[in-house]
Structure 1
């Protein structure tokens, strides 16, 4: 009887079910490497879009994954602000060449001047450059020692994500795309046959870094949302490569951009014969095309929207 009475009171007050307010961030902060970066000139490390009328760079076209997330919340980075919003709501810390240790250094600098808050959405994806650095040390370093170092870097990355969460920021962290599935890996496997499958080794380095990062995250479900970039059961990169045609891809093994052109200068006018923005997965040997970014951005948005931030 008491339980029924209490339920009636709750129902009368509108408290029969708990309502979680949608997360509406007021600022976005991007940490990571080329995959998340926008240069001061508004260029991205993918196939850049051009204005159909002027033929000039259109920084909002062919967005990378952090732009997709930002735009869905009405946020904008100063590096790409085509409507000249007076006060951009995005901070771009991501940059070319960044490794996990650089993410830590960037956070150190940020904390020296400020902190994070519950309306900050922080995107993090780093580790590709670490994997490439470790891979380049083989065979001078053993595969076992390199895999161990990959795990150490994954743990270090998790510690940085946890620092943001401890400061009350909201984090969407994406695992590193499988480097063993990149055009770089395809070339390495073909050029260096032997007892060690180079593509599989790159996949193993990726897996170890990602796994160690994942298991060391503070997993309370409230402050950190994990994006399973490679395969989350709904179509990550590994699934897209395996079932390419089912996802509309005509090529998942080659780079779309011409080798002679710097990636930030790659546009829809500087592609290899037959390449297309929407049907090729990779822009360069290790960086995603706009179609790849669309998929990653969609997965990140699901996490940002559905996590109880």
Structure 2
């Protein structure tokens, strides 16, 4: 069912087909009613939202044809191909290690460190787009020093070079929208050549609720909406941060009022989409109170309350803003549609975040170390779209860490949201 390895998902999500569907007033809009003649299968999937639902690209050098496609604003799947990692004594930075050499290769290397601290993973040597197998295949070269062991004797500080092949496998990045689309046998091929077809996203980095209307208009102009279309919307993330940071609103009560108004605006857009005949899954705002950003703000701002869970480091103001946004979206804006379960479903990520953030099996922190993150060309860059395993914190794992960076969810949260969205759509519509 999924196009990404089960090993990257939390254990609770590896059996999607067996996941139970629980109807609760706060987490789900409607439970449907009656029986269906056949299982729900959308003709197409259309996504609106901010960077949590968007793709982007990155150029490897000044040649625009050397572009990595399908980067996401969370952890990116970047497996290093087995059998492509070589260490050699040749220090030339413009050639790869000769894998056939019997004299130049080091075969038991540890503690390798690149000389160029601005490119700790090395620099890009070549990019291959031999679709679909070698799409986004990047060869990296790093000159540095390391330790090598021969016959039980280790020599430290040896000058050497490392070359390796890494794949930016956009079809295997476990974003919520890819989880949803893949479960229906579809994918975002326009943004990721390796992916399946049948789904499209209009989401953009930095989008606020007000920007979703432009995305909807573009989709209408492309004749994408109507019967047979499943629309998935996740917005409000950037609005909560913007309003929380702004001095315009003064008190937390004023900020809550503003965020509720924005939720009502989003609800109006959801209704507009429903009126085209499309089915809609709406994702509520995530609880940023538990995020590294939220925790840092609580520590810095005296008087910030703790969260309802009693976790002292959790930012109660951000948690309240997410709750009020979701309540206004669901219980006010979509009030008249609550029991029309064949048209719209609502997923509340706050409940998942609260459960996982207080569960000792998971790590409520960021998985990517800002000091290790690099662009595909090898240059340091801590922007979230450059989060991948090459820049993980020590012992970092996509199966346990909840956040990619300070504010953006990692795969655990994305996968939970995507599975919930699929289950709601498959069982309700």
**CA gap 1:19/1:131 in 2 versus in 1, 3 angstroms:** closer
8 Å Cα contact 1:279/1:291 also seen in 2: yes
Secondary structure at 1:272 match in 2: coil
1:44 match = 72
Any residues of structure 2 matched to 1:213-292 within 5 Å, and which?
Answer: 213-215=329-331, 216-217=333-334, 218-219=337-338, 220-231=340-351, 236-242=352-358, 244-245=359-360, 248-249=361-362, 251-252=363-364, 254-260=365-371, 261-292=382-413
2:316 match = 200
The structural deviation recorded for 1:118 is: 2.0
Secondary structure at 2:390 match in 1: coil
**CA gap 1:150/1:18 in 2 versus in 1, 3 angstroms:** closer
TM norm structure 1: 0.85
The structural deviation recorded for 1:79 is: 0.8
Where structure 2 has 5 or more consecutive residues not aligned to the other structure, the ranges are 1-33, 58-68, 82-164, 307-313, 372-381
C-alpha separation between the residues in 2 aligned to 1:193 and 1:36? 34
**CA gap 1:128/1:276 in 2 versus in 1, 3 angstroms:** same
1:264-291: per-residue Cα shift (whole Å, max 9, x none)?
Answer: 1111110122321111111111111112
- Kindly indicate whether residue 190 of structure 2 is the aligned counterpart of residue 70 of structure 1: no
8 Å Cα contact 1:119/1:169 also seen in 2: yes
Secondary structure at 1:209 match in 2: helix
C-alpha separation between the residues in 2 aligned to 1:300 and 1:18? 20
1:23 match = 40
CA-based RMSD of the aligned residues comes to 1.9
Secondary structure at 1:148 match in 2: helix
1:170 match = 279
1:142 match = 251
TM norm structure 2: 0.62
Detail structure 1 runs of 4+ shifted over 3 Å in the superposition.
17-20, 195-198
C-alpha separation between the residues in 2 aligned to 1:151 and 1:140? 13
**CA gap 1:292/1:19 in 2 versus in 1, 3 angstroms:** closer
2:93 match = none
- Kindly indicate whether residue 167 of structure 2 is the aligned counterpart of residue 56 of structure 1: yes
Q: Which has the higher strand share?
A: 2
1:12 match = none
C-alpha separation between the residues in 2 aligned to 1:262 and 1:18? 47
Q: Which has the higher helix share?
A: 1
C-alpha separation between the residues in 2 aligned to 1:202 and 1:138? 15
**CA gap 1:140/1:160 in 2 versus in 1, 3 angstroms:** closer
The structural deviation recorded for 1:113 is: 4.4
- Kindly indicate whether residue 60 of structure 2 is the aligned counterpart of residue 32 of structure 1: no
Secondary structure at 1:230 match in 2: helix
C-alpha separation between the residues in 2 aligned to 1:128 and 1:60? 24
C-alpha separation between the residues in 2 aligned to 1:139 and 1:113? 38
Find the partner of 1:80 among 188, 192, 195.
Answer: 192
1:10 match = none
C-alpha separation between the residues in 1 aligned to 2:202 and 2:238? 16
**CA gap 1:182/1:161 in 2 versus in 1, 3 angstroms:** same
8 Å Cα contact 1:115/1:167 also seen in 2: no
Residue correspondences, number: 280
**CA gap 1:19/1:195 in 2 versus in 1, 3 angstroms:** closer
The structural deviation recorded for 1:142 is: 2.2
Secondary structure at 1:281 match in 2: strand
